[in-house]
Structure 1
Amino acid sequence: MNVRTDTPALAVEKLAVLHGERALVREVSLTIPACGVLTLLGESGSGKSLLAQAIMGNLPPPLRCEGRVAIGGDQTPAFEQRSRHGLWGRRLALLPQEPWLALDPTMRVREQVAETYALVGRSSERAAGSGSWRGARALAERALASLGLGDAAHKYPLMLSGGMAQRVAFLATHAAGAPLMIIDEPTKGLDADRRGEVLDLLRAAQGQGMSLLCITHDIWLARALGGQLAVMLDGALIEQGEAAQVLAAPRHDYTRRLLAADPGNWPAWHDSMPAPRGGAIVQIDGVAKSFGRQVLFSDVDAQVAGGEIVAVSGPSGSGKTTFGNIVLGLTRPDRGRVQRASGLAPAAFQKIQQDPGAAFAPRIRLRQSLQDLVQLHRLDWTQLEATLERMRLAPALLDRLPHQVSGGELQRIALARVLLMKPALIFADEPTSRLDPVTQQDVFALLREQVSEQVSEQVSDARCALLLVTHDAEIVRSVAQRRITLGAGDRDREAENA
């Protein structure tokens, strides 16, 4: 990769994103040197992803932008978005926050990565493959194997876990070899080992001359990447400097609060929770599930009682989402049985989706979706409004379509909808993976309250239970009383203590 080290990879000057006269992003200025990295931290909805889309020249109408953007020295007015479209793939690349948006659901994984190598990949790698699809597929297979995805090469995206889809999308984007890459939440939903692999890949790309603008809620990643760090709040940069300096001695109150709310600093909340009571909400006996020749888990025995928070842990692809779907009755096990407490309606078992976009009809405004739910189940709209306010969500967000709000905002709206149902069991699949540490803390406080509440008039003394999937070991340490581990050996075991 030929990179001019005397020219910044990216220079943004007074960039603003506006909706009518309202500024969503306010006069952001930043510079990334060649082969450098700038990490952008901030709460969900602060404008980080909007900033990325403005740099790419990919803002949807009616949004518009002002200011100037220079990529590798080529400067254009920010509002001339189409002038940057010709750079996509070859000089500028974006890995979006939602991996499903970067993957073709009709194309197998290997072909998606190979297509990038064959059509827009680096010239040296195309030459290594003699420009053929066979060579591109060989490069794709090696790249997939390097991130532990060799077995996924012939699968479709819908057959992948969220973490696996994240890594495939990263490889497909990285294969283009653009000297500047914008990465939105690259470690979202990944366990510690996979996060380390993504970090190694980012460092290797940087060593080859790639510059990075990394948008993340992961303070560990910001610290590990080094370089520059900027903090965004309400559409403006409030603090900027060397990453090590900002993280060690933040100047702004919000930055200090953000760092203090990192899950590694949370207390052991489960120690203060009341003892479980009300009997088992679900009893799981000898449950097993396979897809083809791939065994996800076998002989799982567990029970979940009211008032409990139980973590489901295991590496990416071990079947955690599938296990939760079996508990809810959405998927049948190959063997074994799940017995749910009698007297509870099907709606008493609720799921918080890993991908919140899958929880809403894409062409119906959020307010209408929620009003339909309230009317169907005769719920109290004012309770929903109170929950949204507590999660710092503006009522005006409900007048948008699902794709018009950030992933973190949509995740919180999906959570509020589930809490309104007063379920007996919540299967929460990475419920805070798109949230900053401050909002994560607020959300888990809400979930703890829900677990302590009476949830059924038909079942005496019934308490809600939370079945939690998260790759964040610190969250498990803090909130979970017990843990069910998948992929731990030939026989999966239930650990009594988290």
Structure 2
Amino acid sequence: MSTLLVAEDVAVFSSHLLVHPASLTLQAGRPFTILGETGSGKSLLAQAIMGTLPRGLRAEGRVTVGDQRLDLASGQGHRALWGRTLGVLPQEPWLALDPTMRARKQVEEGYRLVRGLPAVQSRIRASADLAALGLGNAGDKLPSELSGGMAQRVAFIAARAGGARIVIADEPTKGLDVFRRDEVIALLLKEIEDGGGLLTITHDLELARQMGGDIAVVLEGQIIEQGPAADVLGAPRHDYTKRLIAADPSAWPERNAAPKRSAGVKPVLTAAGLAKTRGGQLLFENRDLTVLPGEIVGITGPSGCGKSTFGDILLDLVTPDAGTVTRAEGVARVRFQKLYQDPPAAFPQKVPIRRALNDLVRLHGLDGSRIAPLLERLRLSPGLLDRLPTQVSGGELQRFALLRVLLLDPVFLFADEPTSRLDLITQQETVELLAEVARERNCAVLIVSHDAELIRKMSDRQIAFGSPPDAAALAA
């Protein structure tokens, strides 16, 4: 087994140490997974190795790729490796993809500009790659027309198109249903069958288990356990690793029954006979729903089956083809809120988080003193408020999105994959907070998740959406 990459004493700094010196070795044909919670520093470690740290951060240490040795403090030498030797699958596919370029063209570029293939052959290869991941009808779609799972798959295909022998995948299964997750895992593993290298950064415990190979567990910028995945996950030594495994939804205790409702309680929202077609395909029809104050309703189903569209119709963000939605009288529209699956798309990219929250407080006459206790409750450092949305992790930004929604004191909250970006421990804490909010404030919650076990453990009742006629052609 040959060595593809060696990282030695890699550290990351801003004004202080963010990632403590860490070393790892990537072998040909053997996956390596960096596992840790949101904000633990796992992505920064990978970005330092890749040479793609955000502005304002610097790295130290050494990385050897083949016969090329890179001094990370110099910041030189990486660019020639990008695409050809080192490929990256980014955490935020909607930000990584060109918003003005259709899916097939984004994949074609890798074949044409990096591999140097003729235009016709590049197009053929790109079309075949898209079809192989169930995206045969998505080639002419813009990123804004794709669901989160579809955008993730397009980004994955584009990352591989340049022929890089080493792929660094940052949260590659985030937001995917179980079937698509397992499909991407199979594709990632296929990358190493012929002696390629794969470094995966994730908070997904099941992904780490299925990948096998070697694993490093990261906490607060330090590797606390490292070794064969089967050993680390099968017999963890560190208390944090044990806690991480115990936070998997399958290990959650069964919830207490929903509190009994007194007769005559009026629903927060009622839908009758909803139907929606998109792209010439039927998403759903004859859908009814009544949601009471404080009730938690869960929705499961594969990518592209219309779960998000259904919730958007309830919020009057999308017009149904048939049916009606009736919301509680006398309640301001602003108290019917949504938690988006991809918070980067919901935050202004060039506005610090503190200003965005203060603007909301000022616009709606809210109580700004509630921000501090919510920060503590969501395990968010006050120092993050002065950063841009692009300067915090995906999980931290999702928790800021929840904080922003809670400031509005919602009576109905449509949570669209609200934990898809969160590690298991933070996911459990966030779900428990959602349940507390539902009970304490009598807020109805409609939550969508690909994780059927999470929905079962959290919800008072469940709704299952089935597979659409052509899931690859539809945005969820």
Q: TM-score range by the shorter chain?
A: over 0.9
Q: Within the alignment, does 1:243 sit opposite 2:243 as a pair?
A: no
Which of 270, 291, 296 does residue 304 from structure 1 map onto?
291
Q: CA deviation at 1:489?
A: 7.1
Say whether residues 1:354 and 2:341 are aligned partners: yes
| Counterparts of 1:482 and 1:29, CA distance in 2 | 47
In the alignment, which residue of structure 2 is the partner of 1:273? 258
Is 1:45–1:406's contact at 8 Å kept on the other side of the alignment? yes
Deviation per CA, 1:128-186, whole angstroms, max 9, x where unpaired?
Answer: xxx33222222222211211111212211111110111111111112222111110111
Per the alignment, residue 479 of structure 1 pairs with 458
- Name the structure 2 match of 1:189: 175
Which of 213, 224, 233 in structure 1 is aligned with 2:219? 233
Distance in 1 between residues matched to 2:283 and 2:94, nearest whole Å:
22
Offset at 1:466? 0.7
2:3 equivalent to 1:17: no
Equivalent residue, structure 1, for 2:400: 413
Aligned to 1:104: 98
> 2:410 matched to which residue of 1?
423
Q: Do the aligned partners of 1:25 and 1:50 also contact (CA within 8 Å) in 2?
A: yes
1:79 to 55, 73, 78: 73
Conservation of the 8 A alpha-carbon contact between 2:13 and 2:19: yes
Q: Give the number of aligned pairs.
A: 467
Work out the CA distance in 2 between the residues paired with 1:392 and 1:424: 24
- Quote the Cα distance in structure 2 between the aligned partners of 1:76 and 1:290: 53
Instruction: State the 1:434 CA deviation.
Output: 0.9
The alpha-carbon deviation at position 14 of structure 1 amounts to 0.9
Q: Is the 8 A contact 1:302 1:484 kept in 2?
A: no
User: Are 1:65 and 2:59 an aligned pair?
Assistant: yes
Q: Which residue of 2 aligns with 1:496?
A: none
CA contact (8 A) 2:257 2:460 kept: no
Q: Percent of aligned positions with the same letter in both sequences?
A: 54
Question: Gapped runs of 5+ residues in structure 2?
Answer: 470-476
What's the CA shift string for 1:294-316, capped at 9, x where partnerless? 22222211222212111222211
Contact 1:285/1:337 (8 A) holds in 2: yes
Alpha-carbon distance in structure 1 between the residues aligned to 2:12 and 2:206: 29
Give the structure 2 partner of residue 466 of structure 1: 445
Q: Deviations over 1:438-466 (max 9, x none)?
A: 11111011101111123xxxxxxxx2111
SS of equivalent residue, structure 1 residue 418: helix
1:46 partnered with 2:40:
yes
Deviates more, 1:287-296 or 1:39-48: 287-296
Please list the CA deviations of residues 338-379 of structure 1 after superposition, one character each: whole Å capped at 9, or x if unmatched.
111111101110111111112211111111111122223333
AA aligned opposite 1:178: A
**Which residue does 2:368 correspond to in 1?**
381
CA contact (8 A) 1:276 1:307 kept: no
Alignment of 1:153-172 (within 5 A): 153-172=139-158
Deviations 1:376-430 (A, max 9, x none): 3333333221121122211000011110111111111111111122101111111
Tell me which amino acid in the other structure corresponds to 2:209: R
Distance (Å, rounded) in 1 between the aligned partners of 2:128 and 2:192: 19
Give the deviation of 1:484 after TM superposition. Answer: 2.5
Which position in structure 1 is the counterpart of 2:85? Answer: 91
**Pairwise CA distance, 1:276:** 5.0
Shift of 1:82: 3.1
The residue identity in structure 2 corresponding to 1:196 is: D
Q: Please, which of 173, 177, 185 is the counterpart of residue 163 of structure 2?
A: 177
Q: 2-side partners of 1:83 and 1:415: how far apart?
A: 40
Alignment-mate amino acid for residue 254 of structure 1: Y
Q: Distance in 1 between matches of 2:206 and 2:163?
A: 25
Q: Which runs of 5+ in 1 are unaligned?
A: 455-462, 491-498
CA contact (8 A) 2:28 2:192 kept: no
SS at match of 1:466: strand
2-structure distance, mates of 1:159, 1:179: 31
Q: Is the 8 A contact 1:58 1:81 kept in 2?
A: no
- Residues 305 and 468 of structure 2 are in contact (CA less than 8 Å); yes or no, is this contact kept in structure 1? no
Partner in structure 2 of residue 320 of structure 1? 307
Q: Which amino acid aligns with 2:37?
A: E
1:146 aligned partner: 132
Letter in 1 for 2:324: R
Please list every run of at least 4 consecutive aligned residues from structure 1 whose deviation after the TM superposition is greater than 3 angstroms.
275-278, 487-490
Instruction: Provide Cα deviations, 1:219-276, integer angstroms capped at 9, x if missing partner.
Output: 111111110011101111111010000001111111110111011111222x343235
Q: Which has the higher contact order (CA 8 A, sep 6+)?
A: 2
Q: Distance in 2 between matches of 1:486 and 1:433?
A: 18
Secondary structure, in 3 states, of the residue corresponding to 1:392?
A: coil
Deviates more, 1:293-302 or 1:160-169: 293-302
Mapped partners of 1:92, 1:99: distance in 2? 18
Amino acid in structure 2 at the alignment position of 1:146: A
Structure 1 match to 2:317: 330
Letter in 1 for 2:353: L
Question: Could you tell me how far 1:336 is from its partner in structure 2?
Answer: 1.2
Q: Note closer, same or farther for the CA distance 1:293–1:397 as it changes in structure 2 (3 Å cut).
A: same
Partners in 1 of 2:63 and 2:467 — Cα distance?
49
Q: 1:135 to 1:390 in 2, by over 3 A?
A: same
**CA separation in 2, counterparts of 1:208 and 1:333?**
49
Distance 1:84 1:476 in 2: 43
8 Å Cα contact 2:313/2:320 also seen in 1: yes
> 2:78 is paired with a residue of what secondary structure?
helix
What TM-score, normalized by structure 1, do the two folds share? Answer: 0.91
Query: Does the Cα contact within 8 Å between 1:296 and 1:487 map onto a contact in 2?
Result: no
Whole-angstrom distance in 1 between the partners of 2:468 and 2:188:
31
Letter in structure 2 aligned against 1:273: A
Distance 2:157 2:280 in 1: 26
